[in-house]
Amino acid sequence: MAKLVTGVFKTRVAAEAGVDAVIKRGYTRDDISVLMSDATKSKEFAIETGTRAADGLGYGAAVGGAVGAVLAAIAAIGTNIMLPGIGLVVAGPLAAAFAGAGAGGAAGGLIGALVGAGIPEHRAKVYDASLRAGGILIGVESKTDEEADKLEDLLVDLGAEHVRQE
């Protein structure tokens, strides 16, 4: 059975390395979710809402090559979900779960939205603090239970914090 494997990276460079390693394991950017604060997106990616800056390969070169292009593209297409007290960028499969959390997620802020997406409350609180501190949460829906264990080990080896599988 597939499991969601999540971990928080402290920097864009580390998050890019994580995304690159996951893609090298046979996943696509459509399998990867990225969560970060709107402030982190603005600071780390300098993507202006409503522009086509992330389209095409030219932008990829500006943010650090192919790996940067993948993470930037995921972030650029992310759905900006405004929750009380924090602007959150959610991209990938978790965006649908956040949208499905609806009013319950909005009423509970980021923690409520994370719980609505299937992350236990105690872990949601840790992720909330990490995202507010500028971290970038990466989530991957594993193909199998065995693959979830390998993804968990991979993210830990790459320096991700609070790595877990649900």
Q: Is 139 exposed, middle or buried (0-12, 13-18, 19+ CB in 10 A)?
A: buried
What DSSP assignment string belongs to 116-135? HTT--HHHHHHHHHHHHTT-
Cα distances (Å, whole numbers) of residue 166 to 53, 85, 149: 35, 27, 11
Residue 87 pLDDT class (50, 70, 90 cuts): confident
Lowest mean pLDDT segment, chosen from 18-32, 98-112, 126-140: 98-112
* Cα distance between residue 133 and residue 142, in whole Å: 27
| φ, ψ at 25 (rounded to 5°) | -85, 0
* Phi, psi of 82, rounded to the nearest 5 degrees: -95, 115
Residue 67 has pLDDT above 80, yes or no: no
Q: Tell whether the torsion through CA atoms of 103, 132, 22 and 121 is positive or negative.
A: negative
31: DSSP letter: G
Count of the separate structural domains present in the chain = 1
Mean predicted lDDT score pLDDT of the chain: 77
Mean pLDDT, rounded, for 74-90? 64
Amino acid at 142: S
Whole-prediction pTM: 0.79
Q: Is the pLDDT of residue 23 over 80?
A: yes
pLDDT at 105: 45
Could you list the residue range(s) of the whole structural domain that residue 27 is in?
4-165
Could you read off the pLDDT of 122-166 as tens digits, one per residue?
999 999 899 989 999 999 989 899 999 999 999 999 999 999 998
